[in-house]
Structure 1
Amino acid sequence: MTNKKLPSKKIIKEELIKDLELKDIKSKIKYLAQVIGLQKLIEFSEILGGEEIYIPTKKGLLINPTKRLVATLVPKYKTTEIVEILGVSNNLVEKTRELSKKEKLEKIANKTPRKLTPKKVDEILIADLRDSDMSENFMDIIEIIGFEKAIECCEKIGGLCMYMPHINKVLYGPRKRMAAKLYNEKHHPVEIGKLLNMNHEDVKKVAKLYSSEKEENE
């Protein structure tokens, strides 16, 4: 075995994160990584590791803003027009219309334009989204990746419920490669295990397996 000193845990962690590739991600979180990137996935694992996270669909996220928009449209649009514009049910529009006759309903900040395109509707609904419309889980997601990326997640992978593994699990691929590298440099497997949070026997197994895979690829 070598007398060469092993790198610090901080340096090793930085190296592992740099070495992380999309192919290392095996579960549903791979879809999340494709949208937000590997660096943000690392933040997820550090903050929400060990928790189930749910990405709502965009339609599901915008339920309350949609209802509020319906309330602003009923005085000047026909039911059939609102159904066509927003893709809501006749029943929802008619219930809102009845309610509007009995009480003054809250309206969104800007006056709703007479001509509404799908793009304009989308902008209005997203602008009207409030904290009370969102789950605590989704608020955590926004805090980590930002509002725009969170909306993009809803558009691309909305409806997914996934388990967010701890960072050690996310970095398993890089840890395996690092263990093999350090073992081949003649560092003691016990010391490698302590550094990488692995059993020393697993270090030897992983090093042997990695070496075999490398030979096959060559």
Structure 2
Amino acid sequence: MSMTKREKVLAAATVLVVAFGLAGTQARSRVEAIREKSATAAALADRIRMQRELIGAAADWAARYDGVKDQMPVFERGKQVDTYWLNIMDLAAEQYGVKIRNRSAKQETVMSDVCEFPIEVREWEATLEAFVKFVHAIQSEGAMLDMREMRVAPLSNRPGILKGSFVLYCAYMRGDAAQTTPAASPAPMPEAHAAPAPSLDAEPPRLAAPAASNTPPEGVEQEPAK
């Protein structure tokens, strides 16, 4: 059966449309693949650049690490540290008038040669001024103590009093018995009624390391370490 001229033209046009459609689909797929490869190459280039910058700053990072490491106490391997850190927190809380109602010592975590010991305080009460001084005193311990996950809210039935919770992370290192840092005796704390009310602008004194005593202050509920 012979095709008319019009049918031949329509058939040729159909073939061209199909051919261009296939070519366009393949081209689009190739363009998308090129874009993905370009994005991957750019990400790798950025990663290589960042790694080169870190390698170039290795001496500076090492110096910073040595400076921070020198501030950390060293405990004998396997020795319990909850007494040491709980007493430091209790000393600051008692000095600045922060009432800790509920606390618990958590599990030690080890990251490289640095250990972290978290203390979870589920409930505390204090005035804004007292809590600011307490936090300042804790954070002034440098690399050793870091307060995270802090929550603060007003106490509805006591105007001017705040309540909340926080987790105190204590950083230290482990070493042999000959390398351990002995715990210093705490400095005598002034009586609450005799101590002058310090200004908010005044820098709180650094906390002395406490002696070994795991007895919580009066009114504090302590859970055993997990």
TM range (shorter): under 0.3
Quick check: which one's strand share is greater?
2
Please tell me whether Structure 1 or Structure 2 has the larger radius of gyration of its CA atoms. Answer: 2
Quick check: which one's helix share is greater?
1
Task: Specify which structure has the bigger relative contact order, considering alpha-carbon pairs within 8 angstroms and separated by 6 or more residues.
Answer: 1
TM-score by length of 1: 0.18
TM-score by length of 2: 0.18
